[in-house]
Copies of this chain bind each other. A is one copy, B any other.
Amino acid sequence: MKKSVEHLTTPKVLRDAMVYSLEAGGKRLRPILLLETLRSFGGEWQLGMDTACAIEFIHTYSLIHDDLPSMDDDDLRRGKPTNHKVFGEANAILAGDALLTYSFQLIAGSTYPNFSPNKKLSIMNELAQSAGAEGMVGGQVADIEAEGTSIDLEQLQFIHDHKTGKLLQFCVRAGAILGDATEKQLSSLTQFATHLGIAFQIRDDILDIEGDEAKIGKPVGSDTTLQKSTYPKLLTLEGAKQKCEEHLALSLKALREASVSSERLEELARFIIQREY
């Protein structure tokens, strides 16, 4: 990650701000999900590397912008000061813009020989859809709108499906497209990712209540402070845990239906849901 940014001819503070958040200790769940999906088709991991980096760039930009004073106003992320706390608000916004822009450059400019033009275009098209107004950005707007109001389970689902779900679905779909999946496999794997995304978000909400602050790297209870609607709030903590297990089960069922070498993806899904941070 760092390497692809460090050579950029750009003001030092911008490069530093980009590297700072890329290297802030993320779990790299999204690139791993993409690469493991590709591997489940027997594909060479190198074919997925540029897209894997692109997705982490997009994820990182979204965290920088989400943390801004005008949005979640967070001081800490993964146990470190947020980007705008270190580099100032203007540079944080611009570092996010630059990461978002660069993610498309990574794919369009990829020199990996087996990465065909049509695959690049299909992946960039899906990436933009997942990350933009009809995906992640739309979810963030809906999330901000819902703050301090009381929403139902359907609205909560909409927010999460857009804010985090679409990008997780993209990871799996991009891995599958690179691995030459059939339409049927693509459809099963999209189901896998959709249920995994919901379970992932429920787990996130649970960690905000039960988690260890030192492990998750931010204060627990921040959802309550921001008066955010959460799964435990709508379903009780016990109900949320049960819902999480249900979606994990649905996700693994869809994964088996895809008829790929799914052991590592299954392991990854279990890790994502049982994680402590």
Number of A positions contacting B (CB below 8 A) = 51
The answer, yes or no, to whether A246 is at the interface (CB within 8 Å) is no
Q: Which of A15, A108, A121, A134 has the most CB of B within 10 A?
A: A108
Number of copies: 2
| A30 at the binding interface (Cβ < 8 Å) | no
A106 to B180, CA, bound (A): 24
Pick the residue among B94, B109, B131, B134 that contacts A8 (CB under 8 A): B134
The A113-134 residues at the B interface (CB cut-off 8 A) are 117-118, 120-122, 124-125, 127-129, 131-134
**Contact digits for A41-84, partner B, Cβ 8 Å, 1 yes 0 no:** 00000000000000000000100010010110000000000000
Q: Is residue A100 within 8 Å, beta carbon to beta carbon, of the partner chain?
A: yes
Which A4-20 residues have C-beta < 8 A from chain B?
5, 8-11, 13-15, 18
Interface presence of A251 (CB below 8 A): no
The complex places the Cα of A129 from the Cα of B109 at a distance, in Å, of 10
User: Given contacts A11-B141, A140-B94, is CB(A109)–CB(B125) below 8 Å?
Assistant: yes
Task: Give A142's nearest chain B residue, CB to CB.
Answer: B11
Contact B101 A133 (CB under 8 A): yes
- Whether a CB of chain B sits under 8 angstroms from the CB of A245 is no
